Structure 1
Amino acid sequence: MAGTFSQLYVQVVFAVKGRENLIKKEFRTEVFEYIAGTIKGKDQKPIIVNGVGDHVHVFIGLRPSMSVSDLVRDIKNNSSNFINSKKFVKGKFAWQEGFGSFTYGQSQIDSVFKYISNQEAHHQKKTFKEEYIDMLTKFQVQYDEKYLFDWIE
């Protein structure tokens, strides 16, 4: 869009359906690279993609040519098709419905990058549920717990 200038930074968090630990270390990097490629293919800027077995964090430099919802829909659709075509998991892989998205300013890029890059160590101390609810609270997002992800206790 000519004459449109913006710099939007968005962290998106989404989980494996049923919160199963299906994103194994053996193929995790390949999946995250594929997700980054999908983001680039949509003319957006992947800053970092990382996560653990049951969920993913994606940090994006977002252009206004695409909505967050459309981008996440395409990321989830394309990556689940990729995982299934590679037969990384037994049965059919799918992401849970919904996602969380949180915006940041230029001065926060480094700290968000470091946070996302340390997901494995981070989740030795805190569950995904604790992390997610903390993010919703920090960003003052109103939510009804019955509409959050399906949690494995």
Structure 2
Amino acid sequence: MGDTYSKMYYHIIFAVRNRKNHIDKSWKEDLNKYITGIVKAPKQKMMIINGMPNHLHILLSSNPNCFIPDLVRDIKSSSTKWINENHFTSKKFTWQKGYSVFTIGYSQVPMVTNYIKNQEKHHSRKTFEEEYLEFLDTCEVEYDERYVF
């Protein structure tokens, strides 16, 4: 082949520290736009972002030069600073330390997009903790129950 062609999709999940309900509906859309700007800066494409008051789901397509840990670090550190500078919460806002990332194939993009879009519906039936453990189990990710949250 004369050149390299690729498209990779990542489903990223991370939570507010201690899974507190700090993301308010009044500024959630602004947060989503802010994070979308962070994702687009290194030429990634935000497919969808949505979540609940205590966590976020991001689906993005990435070029092969993107190092996901750096991107997640940038998303979390920049958005934390932005939230705190705008005084959206009464106490200092922080994200939980870790995150999860799952690769998905092109054929799964519509299903994952729909899942992220309908977070409110999903969480009327299950908690974030239940959802998160289900993802880890379905994807056969090994974890220590003492430290997963």
Q: One fold, TM greater than 0.5?
A: yes
Aligned residue pairs total: 148
1:63 equivalent in structure 2: 63
* Structure 1 letter corresponding to 2:18: G
> TM-score scaled to structure 2, two decimals?
0.96
1:92 aligns with 2:54: no
Shift, 1:3, TM fit: 3.5
* Structure 2 letter corresponding to 1:122: H
> TM-score scaled to structure 1, two decimals?
0.93
* Structure 1 letter corresponding to 2:70: D
1:11 aligns with 2:3: no
1:34 equivalent in structure 2: 34
In the alignment, structure 2 segments of 5+ residues that lack a partner are none
Identity %: 43
In the alignment, structure 1 segments of 5+ residues that lack a partner are none
What is the distance in 2 between the residues matched to 1:42 and 1:82? Answer: 19
Shift, 1:42, TM fit: 1.9
SS in 2 for 1:141: coil
1:50 equivalent in structure 2: 50
What is the distance in 1 between the residues matched to 2:50 and 2:42? Answer: 19
Shift in alpha-carbon separation, 1:86–1:140, aligned structure 2, 3 A = same
What is the distance in 2 between the residues matched to 1:62 and 1:146? Answer: 32
* Structure 1 letter corresponding to 2:21: N
Shift, 1:145, TM fit: 1.3
What is the distance in 1 between the residues matched to 2:124 and 2:8? Answer: 31
SS in 2 for 1:89: coil
What is the distance in 2 between the residues matched to 1:77 and 1:3? Answer: 35
What is the distance in 2 between the residues matched to 1:5 and 1:38? Answer: 23
The alignment yields a C-alpha RMSD, in angstroms, of 1.2
